[in-house]
Amino acid sequence: MKKTWIIVVAVIVLLILSIMGRYNKMVSYDENTKTAWSQVENVYQRRLDLIPNLVSTVKGFAAQEKSIFVEVTQARADATKMDININDAEQFAQFQKSQWEVSSALSKLLAVVENYPDLKSNQNFLELQAQLEGSENRITVERKNFNETANVYNKYIRVFPNNIISSMFGFLRTNLFESVEGAETPPVVDFGTAPAATETPAVPAETPVEAPAAQ
């Protein structure tokens, strides 16, 4: 009888230790995911911080492009409002959409720059453009890192018997970055250029008529 109780106690202890180990691993993966997400927020915020100076610089050379400036400013304002829970699918999708709208507006702004050679060679603009390109590259890297980190966490909490423990302690699946509908379509920019003049067809040269030979 005493031996049976020892076995039961040993099994219970092993079970508790197993649960504790799995719980601690979930906490570790969850914290890794949150850290990766904070890096994503940082690089997106860096891009948002560049926009006011970029718009101001472009305005100095292309003040008439008001609609583009309004679109960029509004997209930035909408993105700045976002404070999300990465476990909430609706909030996460809205965050991703608002950031895509910022990317689309910036693409239009940079496309407009092609119409202004003096702006393209402006030192301040070139520096801001380089910083923006650096931010875009960092965004791509950090999004990829976040997806990889979150995938590890998501898989761990869903396999048996971890799914039972994660359900007991409230560990929820983290959303991942996916392609936004329409992101594959480049933004359309109307430069307001006049249509090309229709070329007048060339008139064929008349063939000279030879004079009749003298008799």
- For residue range 80-103, what is the model confidence (pLDDT) as tens digits? 887 889 999 999 999 999 999 999
Burial string for 16-47 (b: 16+ CB within 10 Å, else e) reads eeebeebbeebeebbeebeebbebbbebbeeb
What dihedral angle (degrees, nearest 10) is formed by the CA atoms of 39, 79, 87, 143? -40
Query: Which residue in this structure is represented by tokens 């109780």?
Result: 5
- For residue range 130-170, what is the model confidence (pLDDT) as tens digits? 999 999 999 999 999 999 999 999 999 999 999 999 999 99
Across the range 191-204, mean pLDDT stands at: 38
Within a domain: residue 26? Answer: no
Q: How many domains does the chain contain in total?
A: 1
Within a domain: residue 159? Answer: no
Within a domain: residue 42? Answer: no
Tell me the C-alpha distance between 182 and 189, whole Å: 15
Within a domain: residue 150? Answer: yes
- What's the pLDDT at 200? 37
Read off the CATH number of the domain in which 103 is found.
1.20.1440.20
Which structural domain range is residue 79 located in? 52-154
Within a domain: residue 174? Answer: no
Report residue 60 as tokens: 């100095």
Question: Is pLDDT at 182 greater than 80 in this prediction?
Answer: no
Q: How many CB atoms lie within 10 A of CB 170?
A: 7
Angle between helices 2-59 and 123-158 (to 10 degrees): 160
| All residues at 6 or more sequence positions from 112 whose CB lies less than 8 Å from its CB, including other chains | 58, 62, 65, 68, 189, 191
- What's the pLDDT at 106? 94
Question: Is pLDDT at 18 greater than 70 in this prediction?
Answer: yes
- What's the pLDDT at 38? 95
Report residue 160 as tokens: 């048996």
Report residue 67 as tokens: 């609609």
Within a domain: residue 100? Answer: yes
Q: Radius of gyration (Cα) for the chain, nearest Å?
A: 31
Within a domain: residue 164? Answer: no
Within a domain: residue 117? Answer: yes
- For residue range 29-78, what is the model confidence (pLDDT) as tens digits? 999 999 999 999 999 999 999 999 999 999 999 888 889 999 999 999 99
Share of the chain above pLDDT 70, in %: 83
